[in-house]
Amino acid sequence: MKSVIVVGAGIWGSSLALRLAETGWRVTLVEQHRPGHVRQASAGETRLLRCAHGTDDWYARRAWEARDGWRRLGERAGEELYLEAGMLWFARTPDGWEHASAQVLKGLDIECRQLDPDDGARFFPDFSGDGLSFLLWEPNAGVIRARRATQVTAGLAAYAGVRLVRARALPVPGESAVLVDGEVHRADRVVWACGAWLPQLFDGLPITVSKQDTLHFAVPLAWSVPETPAWVDYDASAYGHGDVDGVGMKATSDAEGRPYEPEHGSRAVDADSVERAASYLGRRFPALAQAPVLFSQVCQYALTPDAEWLLAETAPGVWLLGGDSGHGFKHAPALAGYVAGVLDGEHAPDERFGLRERVPTRGLRTSGQVG
């Protein structure tokens, strides 16, 4: 039986561990805290699932595939992990990112519709289409209960036979092995799925870590998912969704925050993040101009210069999986299948994920502008 040690029980490591255990691997999953612990990126209350990715179709296809994965996971767990509320993209120009996304989605037969800014009033109790050229409606997008989905995935992995070890693992240079509590553990493959901790374990990676503040605002019941959909203003780097589970309406910025250390960095949100989110909320949804913050969370992005992920073999059997760049939760079930195919030798990883020179570009997640 082939063996693998996966380090990191965020959604990427847990999904991979589950997938490998269910396809005949002997799997050990090492996590320094607990699956779903609040420092990990996967422990956000919610994460958005969308297929639109500008001109890119790789991530669009995988997101579509992952949508099925989330629905199946929910069925297995007997709870709704994916809320298909749909998503409205707020397009500021007729021929920008949203237009490119629509062309790709149409080519992939993924439903989307172009709407007039005034149509926003059909989706939100109160809406201002000021400055918008059109709306792009993606009906099969939605919101994942992320923290819960991570815990469920890790739980199913344990049920499938994965040995979950609570410890901090260290690399053994050049070997398909990990060091845990002074002891070396070997396996046919080791996958380091360590999120924002990855650059602390391996030198020279094209990954920087930024602090990201997430805000949820107290809103009347009418602003709840699924009646109120998810929304993204790509050019303003702003996004959110209606209330899920009474945590409040999410409205937050996707712009890169300041450099951050995920283990010891402060988990208090900054005053200017609150101000920015509240100001966007009030402009786009005037009835919510005075909505108070109900809940906030600090998370971190593990950013590569081009927002493409990292999947690379650095020594025989040793794989680094990271650099999710703030847009990797939604893909996890599909990514697990893809990475399993790489570990099984069915296909090589796409060059885009390699340890190559990365040219700074934007587009997979946000324009980088703040508006």
CB of 95 to ligand FAD, least distance (A): 25
Nearer to ligand FAD, 42 or 224 (CB): 42
Nearer to ligand FAD, 140 or 289 (CB): 140
CB of 18 to ligand FAD, least distance (A): 13
Question: Could you write out the three-class secondary structure of the chain?
Answer: CCEEEEECCCHHHHHHHHHHHCCCCEEEEEECCCCCCCCCHHHCCEEEECCCECECCHHHHHHHHHHHHHHHHHHHHCCCCEECCCEEEEECCCCCHHHHHHHHHHHCCCCCEEECHHHHHHCCCCCCCCCCCEEEEECCCEEEEHHHHHHHHHHHHHHCCCEEEECCEEECCCCCEEEECCEEEECCEEEECCHHHHHHHCCCCCCEEEEEEEEEECCCHHHECCCCCEEEEHHHCEEEECECCCCCEEEEECCCCCECCCCCCCCCCCHHHHHHHHHHHHHHCHHHCCCCEEEEEEEEEEECCCCCCEEEEEECCEEEEECCCCCCCCCHHHHHHHHHHHHCCCCCCCHHHCCCCCCCCCCCCCCCCCC
Residue number with the smallest Cβ distance to ligand FAD: 10
Nearer to ligand FAD, 224 or 366 (CB): 366
CB of 78 to ligand FAD, least distance (A): 23
Nearer to ligand FAD, 51 or 91 (CB): 51
CB of 119 to ligand FAD, least distance (A): 23
CB of 187 to ligand FAD, least distance (A): 15
Nearer to ligand FAD, 10 or 349 (CB): 10
Contact positions toward ligand FAD, by CB under 6 A? 7-13, 30-33, 40-42, 44, 47-48, 168-169, 193-197, 201, 212, 214, 299-301, 322, 324, 326-330
CB of 321 to ligand FAD, least distance (A): 7
CB of 118 to ligand FAD, least distance (A): 27
The token duo for 20 is 């490998």
